[in-house]
Amino acid sequence: MKKEVPVINSKLRGHNVSVPKCIRDASGIIINGTRVKSLLFSTDVAVIANSDGDAIIAVYPFTPTLQITNAIIDVSQRPVFVGVGGGTTAGSRVREIALDAELHGAIAVVLNAPTKTEFIKSLAQHIDIPIVLSIISLDEDLEERMLHSGASIVNVSGGKDTVKIIKELRKIDPDFPIIATGGPSDETIKEAIQAGANAITYTPPSNGEIFKKMMEDYRGRCKKENEKQTIK
């Protein structure tokens, strides 16, 4: 008999950002005893602190800084995958940022797609936490990037080609850990999981979008209250 999972939400903390339930169908990736199926793709500390994702993937289009890394790790109540560069930011700077992320409690570090294979191998000898390598195109040498780069996990972010990339990677190795972007709907998430993704990244609504919806709700309540007063 299937058992229902009890759900308890407190009055003030019940309003949070929830990842799509269909991500639960993924196998997950176990990292040092922690199973991760869903990763919230965000650097907004307010959203991070009020989300139910298994982990946070904090990758952003600026040079990584210790202030941002530490702020996200401090606020998150869940494991954090920290972006450490590999594109514009490279070399010894990435190595030191990665080590600092490990020492401050990151569960893994994420490298951008342009990172050279030789550097990834070197970094794997420098830090103890897993290295996640981003794969963004079918034009990459997929076998080299997945099996011979020194990365422990690949993160597929190929836009409309994401599912195709996952399928090609699974032809190379059916068991290598794969994280993938889930896309805009439950259907695209399910497609990524069926193609072979072990875990899914989900982009939550922005702070502004959440606030807009909340303000609309407040205005609706205000209108109803005003109508009640008018009737009286």
CATH number of the CATH domain containing 124:
3.20.20.70
104-142 per-position pLDDT tens digit: 999 999 999 889 999 999 999 999 999 999 999 999 999
% the chain with pLDDT above 90: 72
What pLDDT does 232 receive?
62
Comparing C-alpha atoms, which of 157, 100, 163, 105 is closest to residue 132? 157
Q: Which residue has the higher pLDDT, 176 or 92?
A: 176
In a domain, 12, yes or no: no
Measured between its terminal Cα atoms, the distance across the chain in Å is 53
pLDDT band for position 14 (cuts 50, 70, 90): low
- Looking up tokens 């009055």 gives 11
- CA-CA-CA-CA torsion sign (90, 91, 92, 94): positive
What pLDDT does 145 receive?
95
Six-digit token string for 91:
């070399």
Extract the runs of DSSP E, i.e. beta strands, from the chain: 29-31, 34-36, 38-41, 55-58, 80-85, 108-111, 131-135, 153-156, 178-181, 199-202
Tell me the C-alpha distance between 122 and 208, whole Å.
41
In a domain, 188, yes or no: yes
- pLDDT score of 202 more than 80: yes
Average pLDDT over residues 24-42: 97
% the chain with pLDDT above 70: 97
Q: Which domain holds residue 122?
A: 21-205
Tell me the C-alpha distance between 127 and 45, whole Å.
26
In a domain, 231, yes or no: no
Which range, of 37-41, 61-65, 135-139, averages the lowest pLDDT? 61-65
What pLDDT does 7 receive?
78
Cα distances from 197 to residues 51, 128, 134, in angstroms, run 22, 24, 14
Q: Give the DSSP letter of residue 55.
A: E
In a domain, 61, yes or no: yes
Number of independent structural domains in the chain: 1
> SS3 of 30, please?
strand
HSE-up of 166 (CA within 13 Å, CB side)?
28
Average pLDDT over residues 73-86: 94
HSE-up of 76 (CA within 13 Å, CB side)?
29
In a domain, 93, yes or no: yes
Six-digit token string for 127:
């830090």
User: Chain-wide mean pLDDT for the chain?
Assistant: 92
- pLDDT score of 163 more than 80: yes
In a domain, 5, yes or no: no
In a domain, 224, yes or no: no
In a domain, 16, yes or no: no
